[in-house]
Structure 1
Amino acid sequence: MQYISTRGGTLGQFSDVLLEGLAPNGGLAVPEALPHLSAAELERLRPLTYPELATEIIGLFATDIPRDDLAGLTSRAYGDGKFAADEIVPLSELGDDMTLVGLSEGPTLAFKDMAMQFLGEALEYVLEKRDRVLNVLGATSGDTGSAAEHALRGLDRVSVFMLSPQGRMSAFQRAQMYSLQDENVHNIAVEGVFDDCQNLVKRLNTDLDFKRAHSLGAVNSINFGRISAQIVYYVWAWLRTTDEVDTDARSTFEVSFAVPSGNFGNILSGHYARSMGIPIRKLVLATNENNVLDEFFRTGHYRPRSSANTLATSSPSMDVSRASNLERFVFDLLGRDPERTAAAWHELEERDEIDLSAELNRFEEEFGLLSGTSTHDDRLATIRDFRDRTGVTIDPHTADGAKVAREHIETGIPMLVLETAKPQKFADLISEALGETVEPDDDTRALLAAPQRVTDMPDDEQQLRSYISERALHA
Structure 2
Amino acid sequence: MKYVSTRGARNLGSFCDVLLLGLAPDGGLAMPESIPTLSPDEVEALRGLSYPELAYAVMRPFITDIPGDDLKRLLEQTYRAEVFGSPEITPLTPLGDSGLYLLELSNGPSLAFKDMAMQFLGQVFEYVLETRNERLNILGATSGDTGSAAEYAMLGKARVNVFMLSPHGRMSAFQQAQMFSLREPNIFNIAVQGVFDDCQDLVKAVNADAEFKERFEIGAVNSINWARVLAQAVYYFKGYFALGLPAGAEADFCVPSGNFGNVFAGHLARAMGLPIGQLVVASNENDVLHEFFTTGTYHVRPAARVAMTSSPSMDIGKASNFERYLYLITGGSGTQTLSWWQEVGEGRPVSLAGTPHWDTVKASRFAAGRSTHADRLSTIREVDTEFGRLIDPHTADGVFVARPHQRVGVPMVCLETALPIKFEDTVKEAVGRSPERPTKFGGIETLERQFTVLDNDVDALKAFVAGKLAEQR
* 1:278 matches 2:280: no
Distance 1:346 1:438, change over 3 A: closer
The equivalent residue for 1:256 is: 252
Q: Does 1:47 align with 2:48?
A: yes
CA separation in 1, counterparts of 2:117 and 2:233? 9
Counterparts of 2:378 and 2:150 in 1: how far apart (Å)?
32
Between the aligned partners of 1:87 and 1:255, the Cα distance in structure 2 is 19
| Structure 1 residues 439 and 348, CA gap change in structure 2 (3 angstroms) | closer
Task: Give the match for residue 408 of structure 1.
Answer: 405
Percent identity among equivalent residues? 51
User: 1:26 corresponds to which residue?
Assistant: 27
The match for 1:72 is 73
Paired position in structure 1 for 2:358:
360
Equivalent position to 2:383, from 376, 383, 386:
386
Return the alpha-carbon distance in structure 2 between the equivalents of residues 236 and 120 of structure 1: 22
- Give distance in 2, aligned partners of 1:144 and 1:37: 30
Does the aligned pair in 1 maintain the 2:81–2:87 contact within 8 Å? no
Cα distance change of structure 1 residues 401 and 439 upon mapping to structure 2, 3 Å threshold: closer
Which of residues 444, 447, 455 in structure 2 aligns to 1:447?
444
Q: CA deviation at 1:460?
A: 1.4
Distance of 2:434 and 2:16 partners within structure 1: 47
Task: Deviation per CA, 1:410-468: give whole Å up to 9, x if none.
Answer: 00111000000000111100110013355756533332222211111111111110010
Any conservation in 2 of the 1:21–1:223 contact (CA below 8 Å)? yes
SS of 2:84's equivalent?
coil
Per-residue displacement from partner, 1:240-275 (whole Å, max 9, x unpaired)? 113xx4xxx41x200000000010000000011111
State whether residues 297 and 360 of structure 1, in contact with CA within 8 Å, keep that contact through their aligned partners in structure 2.
no
The yes-or-no answer on 1:174 pairing with 2:176 is: yes
Retained in 2: the 8 A contact 1:127–1:157?
yes
Give the 3-state SS of the residue equivalent to 1:111 in structure 2.
Answer: coil
In the other structure, the counterpart of 2:229 is 227
Greater alpha carbon shift after TM alignment, 141-150 vs 93-102: 93-102
Deviation at 1:38, TM superposition (A): 1.4
In the alignment, which of 323, 346, 353 is matched to residue 350 of structure 1?
346
CA deviation profile, 1:207-243 (whole Å, cap 9, x unmatched): 101100100000000000001100100111111113x
- Aligned counterparts of 2:129 and 2:434: Cα–Cα separation in 1: 47
Separation in structure 2 between the aligned mates of residue 62 and residue 439 of structure 1, nearest angstrom: 39
CA contact (8 A) 1:191 1:459 kept: yes
- Secondary structure (helix, strand or coil) at the match of 1:154 reads coil
Tell me if structure 2 keeps the 8 A contact 1:384–1:434: yes
Q: How far is the alpha carbon of 1:44 from its aligned partner?
A: 2.0
Cα distance, 1:438–1:66 mapped onto 2, change above 3 Å: closer
Alpha-carbon distance in structure 2 between the residues aligned to 1:168 and 1:420:
18
Residue 138 of structure 1 corresponds to which residue in structure 2? 140
Match in the other structure for 2:317: 321
- State the 1:85 CA deviation: 2.2
Secondary structure, aligned partner of 1:41:
helix
> Match of 1:30, as an amino acid?
M
> Which residue identity lines up with residue 373 of structure 2 in the other structure?
H
SS at match of 1:198: helix
Q: Which amino acid aligns with 1:86?
A: P
Asked whether 1:422 is paired with 2:419, we answer yes
- Counterpart-to-counterpart distance in 1, 2:168 and 2:46: 44
The separation in 2 between residues aligned to 1:350 and 1:52, in whole angstroms, is 45
Question: Does the 8 A contact of 2:421 with 2:436 survive in 1?
Answer: no
| Number of the residue aligned with 2:7 | 7
Post-superposition Cα deviations, 1:135-177, rounded to whole Å, max 9, x if no partner, equal: 0000000000000000001211000000000111111101111
CA contact (8 A) 1:299 1:360 kept: no
User: Partner of 2:130: helix, strand, or coil?
Assistant: helix
Q: Secondary structure at the match of 1:187?
A: strand
Residue 124 (structure 1) aligns with = 126
Match of 1:201 in 2: 203
The CA deviation at 1:40 is 1.9
**What is the correspondence of 1:149-168 to structure 2 with a 5 Å cutoff?**
149-168=151-170
Which stretches in structure 2 are left out of the alignment for 5+ residues?
Answer: none
Structure 1 stretch 52-61 or stretch 141-150: which is displaced more?
52-61
- Residue 219 of structure 2 is matched in structure 1 by 217
Give CA-to-partner distance per residue, 1:20-75, whole Å, 9 cap, x none.
01000000000100011112222221121101111121112111111100011111
Deviation at 1:285, TM superposition (A): 0.1
Separation of aligned partners in 2, 1:275 and 1:114: 20
| TM-score normalized by the length of structure 1 | 0.96
- Write the letter of the residue equivalent to 1:356: L
The separation in 1 between residues aligned to 2:137 and 2:438, in whole angstroms, is 35
Whole-Å Cα distance in 2 between the matches of residues 409 and 28 of structure 1? 33
Pick closer, same or farther for the CA change 1:75–1:440 going to 2, 3 Å. Answer: closer
Aligned-partner Cα distance in 2 for 1:195–1:316: 12
Distance 1:286 1:47 in 2: 30
Residue 45 of structure 1: SS of its match in structure 2?
A: coil
- Residue in structure 2 matching 1:472, options 466, 469, 473: 469
Residues 80, 87 of structure 2: 8 Å contact kept: no
**In structure 2, what is the Cα distance between the partners aligned to 1:87 and 1:351?**
44
Q: Deviations over 1:261-307 (max 9, x none)?
A: 01000000001111111001000000000001110111111111111
- Call closer, same or farther: CA 1:304–1:351 in 2, change over 3 Å: closer
Q: Give distance in 1, aligned partners of 2:352 and 2:184.
A: 46
**Is 2:185 the counterpart of 1:188?**
no
**Pairing partner for 2:328 from 329, 332, 336:** 332
Q: 1:447–1:350: structure 2 CA closer, same or farther, 3 Å change rule?
A: closer
Matching of residue 61 in structure 1 with residue 62 in structure 2: yes
**Distance in 2 between the 1:194 and 1:465 partners?**
18
Q: Does the C-alpha gap of structure 1 residues 451 and 346 become closer, same or farther in structure 2, counting only changes over 3 Å? A: same
1:173 is matched by which residue type in structure 2? Answer: Q
Name the SS for the 1:149 alignment partner: helix
Name 2:294's counterpart in structure 1: 298
Give the whole-Å Cα distance in 2 for the aligned partners of 1:24 and 1:183: 30
